[in-house]
Amino acid sequence: MTSSRPEIAPKPVLLFASQALVLALLLGYWPTPRAMQSDLFRAQANAIYGGDGRVALHAAAPGRSDAGDTLMERTDADRLERRWVARLDAVRMVWWPSAVLLALLLASPLTARRRLVGCVLGLLWIQAFALGRLGVEILRAEAEVQTGAAGAAAGADVSRELLLLRTSSEVLNSNIVVIAAVLVAWVAIAAPGRSLVLGGLARVLGPAARLSARSDAVRPPS
């Protein structure tokens, strides 16, 4: 007796795109998991980067919506005052990439087991990526403080380090890099090249492709 794996029919790409868009919006604005994900991210960051005289993250007091929902501060162990304070948006760093990746995986034609495993692995990947970006932000904040207190003697060396950290921070936090991280995870898990078909999009692109091929055929050689 042989057992066969369940076959999943390919899905038209237009149907997939519309489902993924709706799911991304529903998940992205769902308040309960948004708050839970931010709390989880702060707890993990404190476990990795926190400790006596190190970095601590906690929820910021309600205020401007564009100012961020998380306060990150560094307090020296031998002093009570804070060394530096930064404000982050954990929802933008973690939840929105997670919501988009979950939407892509839920809309993809996958078996239930592969979808479940893919969602778990995808969330772990987004969390690890966000924690890595946070580490760069911490190094940048430390370099900013050192630059202010370094003086003229070590100013050149610190400035080069700070310039590198600023560039790394801007690159890692750019939308294109975050989108690329989400798409890489989705492609690795869902293999959309085998599970999605053009469907109705082929009928839209078909005349344009034929017209382009016809124009190339009648074009005189150069």
Taking only the tens place, the pLDDT of each residue in 100-109 is 999 999 999 9
CB 74 within 8 A of CB 141: yes
CB 53 within 8 A of CB 75: yes
Average pLDDT over residues 22-40: 92
% of residues, the chain, pLDDT over 70 = 75
Report how far residue 73's alpha carbon sits from residue 57's, in angstroms, rounded to the nearest whole number: 7
So where are the chain's domains? 11-197
Report how far residue 177's alpha carbon sits from residue 171's, in angstroms, rounded to the nearest whole number: 7
Average pLDDT over residues 32-42: 90
Burial tier of 51 (Cβ tally within 10 Å: 0-12, 13-18, 19+): exposed
- pLDDT, tens digit, 9 for 90 and up, residues 173-194: 999 999 999 999 999 999 888 8
